[in-house]
Structure 1
Amino acid sequence: MPLYAISRDAPVRVLFVEDSAEDAELIQMQLEDAHLRAEYLCVDDAAGLRAALDSFVPDIVLSDLSMPGFSGHDALAIVRAHSPMLPFIFVSGTMGEEVAVAALREGANDYILKHSSARLPVAVDRALREARIEAERQRVEAELMRSQRLESMSLLAAGLSHDLRNILQPLLIVPDLIAQRSDDPRLHQLAAVVAECGRRGHEMAESMLSFVRGSRRASERFRAADLFHAVQLLLKGSMPAGVRLDVRLPDPELSLDANYTELQQCLLNLSLNAIQAMPSGGQLELAAEAADGGVRLEVSDTGKGMDEQILRQLFTPFFTTKADGTGLGLVSCKRIVAGMGGRMEVSSQPGQGTRFVLWLPLLAEEADEGLPAVVAGHGQRILLVFHEAARQSLIGNALASQGYVPDRAGDGAAALRRWAESGAPDLVIVDSGIAMFPAAALLSTMHESGYAGPAIVIEDRETPFDPAQVPASMPLHRLQQPVDMHRLFEVVAQVLAVPA
């Protein structure tokens, strides 16, 4: 029965740096007697040690101090340069006190004399255990740093998203007004282009929040061919002369369900990375086909590829191999794909190129619901309660152009004052993000105080509205940001057509 037993379930890899095969065998027998489950390898020179560190990947190194043409001090220097935290123990026939102290200062974990090696299993177990503890500490520390970075990104994304949506709001409202005021088909076409740009821009602003929240963005059905065509157009100005773009699409009518803007952003990011990986030219390929009940998209290149170390860190926030990179592009892509219910995989070899595979599920098609036609207003008074003056002004002007009379308030308290001064409106449109009486509290107070008309809540994703807090007898409709003005006009006409 051994005096000390090493308790480990998983096998470890032990590397001997030893010129005596007999001594290495004796040490191995001693560790096996202590019930260490291990694989063993013995080297006796610098070249063999370097090769073993890369191919054998040891969990611990046991090294002799003096060997012909090679020393334990040299071995320790090589190991520390390769793996600073790898446990290293000197096992030597002779070692004076000064030599032992110097070895510990150089980074050795311990030293054992061969003629009194009973302490060896204890030293090996302690070194392995301390290495595991240190690895876990570094993992937790890295996870904490990652969490702090994502928290900072969340604050930044929230601020930028808020400002960008305010700037883009006119692009969502004005085109509808222009189209309704003109019969010129060219003007209608320009208005449609502006509205589409506004919608895509608004979705990109929202995607900054979904990046850190992992929230699911609305999906739409579109053809893969149309998506690839848009990516080709966006890449046209970035494509070097030596890079050839090929599109492989066996089924030109293949469709997929996803957020078009986010997926376009993802494919564009991957394609630009591929182009940068081919400074001397090569082939970039976009491919799509039905697979596993969904759609598989591929972006591949014939560039310089990546090694295992880079692949392991590829989706770590802020990790980048480019001097001007942010380290967020691939993280964003993976979040986008995961948010759509899909998965993203990568394979690469140095000198052999890289392939990204995105798999997305198909969703059941939903039937479109018929909506009543837009009806112009006849002077009905609408109380608008918005905390953002720009959004309130735009929606107020739009409703005025339809024949309604807007009455504006910046918060819940101001809305109650306007009601007391001017009487009950025909309709209340309230932003879910107002202060000084939240939307639900404002509507409940008005209803309890005698307001019998309908209400429309413009609901922001950041400030969701709970309809359960409003009396069930109050006619209530909810619309999501960004506001589609045509849809808003239809709902306003619909609720005002119903007698209070």
Structure 2
Amino acid sequence: MSGRDAGAAAPIRILLIEDSDLDAELIAAALEDAGLDCRIDRVMTREAFAAAVAEPCHDLILADYVLPTFDGLAALDHARGHCPDIPFVFVSGTLGEDVAVEALKTGATDYVVKQRLDRLPRTVLRALAEAQARSERRASAEALRSLNESLEARVAARTAELAEANAELRREIIERQRIEEALRQAQRLEAVGQLTSGIAHDFNNLLTVIAGNLEFLGRAVPDERSRRRIDTMRAAADRGARLTAQLLAFSRRQRLEPVPVRLNDTVAAMRDLLQSSIGGAVEIAMVLEPGLWPALADPTQIELIILNLAINARDAMAVGGRLTIETANAILGEPDRPEAPPAGEHVTIAISDTGSGIHPEVLKRVFEPFFTTKEVGKGSGLGLAQVYGFAKQSGGGVRIETCLGEGTTVRVFLPRAAVEPGAVVGEESEAHPPRPQGERPVVLVVDDDEAVREITVTRLSEAGYQIHEAGSGSAALRVLAEGTDIDLVVLDFAMPGMNGAEAACEIRRHRPALPVIFATGYADRTALMQVESVCEDRIVQKPFRGTELERKVAAALSERPALRLVVARSVGV
């Protein structure tokens, strides 16, 4: 045991090693006379002593130095090995000074000669007090050690918590930086898109005037040389129109006619066209997934996108190389970049090359219009911008995977179509009685640009229509409010004050049977969807191409739908 409180009420338990009955009585009497409450267990042999200390239950050991079967030093040595915390005091009549010093060095707590047993009570109390102090010091040391260990564990746990919190903070900072970068990229692309759509609108108005007047001049010029010059200018105007179409594609303002499409059929049918376009030195491989879902997209635009990406891939490969076109189904989670597709089911078409790859700094800007790394005259910088605009307007997205020196893969994601290709879509029609035979239809032309309006009016006048003009949406409404008999309205979309979509809604409210056609340099699809009768047959792109304007006006007048344009057509490809 580890000592006891000297002031405790329990008796002091003493193990006495003494072979003399008289000396044992004298020792007990000395302790009793001092007022100590003691319970003494006496042993005389080595075996009895060993049994007593095997399971320590005493507070103190008193031992004679000379014993019949073993000596006190042997008893001390055995006690130190089995119960070192119990004080050991020699009480002997033959203990010399040298022997006593040796005993203390060996581990004895104290010694008392039998001739001075009056000192024994004080020696016992001092030995017990020292034992109690040692026990308390050990307990304090153990408590301190345990506290240190616990503190170290708490410090380690807290350090781990702080490290995890720091790592989580770093992850949040990185994620925030990624989101902020994606937001900046999206804002930059959106700003450039708004700018390009406005530029495209203005250029299309200019090209409408140029191309329209060139067409009129072409009819009046008699000599062949002048006709050739006019044809050259008309070709330049057509190239300008194609350039603005690419700008509109990037800014997601182009007109799309999405239908369910079998991408595998589209890709397979383009093999010969692709081979002739990129040259025989490039090997073309197609990996088309069986059971591919139908994609919802404009089939004409898909072909242009595939051809565009194939030519880009060819340009990225020095000589020869391998071009791989793959199709696949994909179920995606939330996007992490502005060009990425939204979550959901998509159909993908991937064009891969074995070219030089794209540098990370270039990769950040590849979707910006007019950004190109090609030599002057070798590229417009609108290819990937057009791909980006088409994919996003179609409800999908784009992903680029590239490795310098190994090649690039551009994946275009298109939304999965809800119905299979070939389904027939029809809408109810409500015909309006035609004009009396021989009476010319009356068309109201509304455009804020006088030069553009003059081209439209001239073309329709030459086609045999009576014309009324208005320079704004509110002016058109005033013409109608005057009771003028109008058979069809040709509306510009982008006009100050009241745009074409808003004007069309007002016209529908007052004259629901009156058909409307939009003649526009670009069209905000969301705004146009507010007008119920809007579809491909009710939109004419500026600059006018061929007889598209006259043909769509004639078709609208022949149908004369009252509220909704009715189309019965197959949406198959």
TM-score (norm. length: structure 2): 0.45
Query: For the pair shown, which has the larger CA radius of gyration, 1 or 2?
Result: 2
Larger RCO, structure (CA 8 Å, separation 6 or more): 2
TM-score (norm. length: structure 1): 0.50
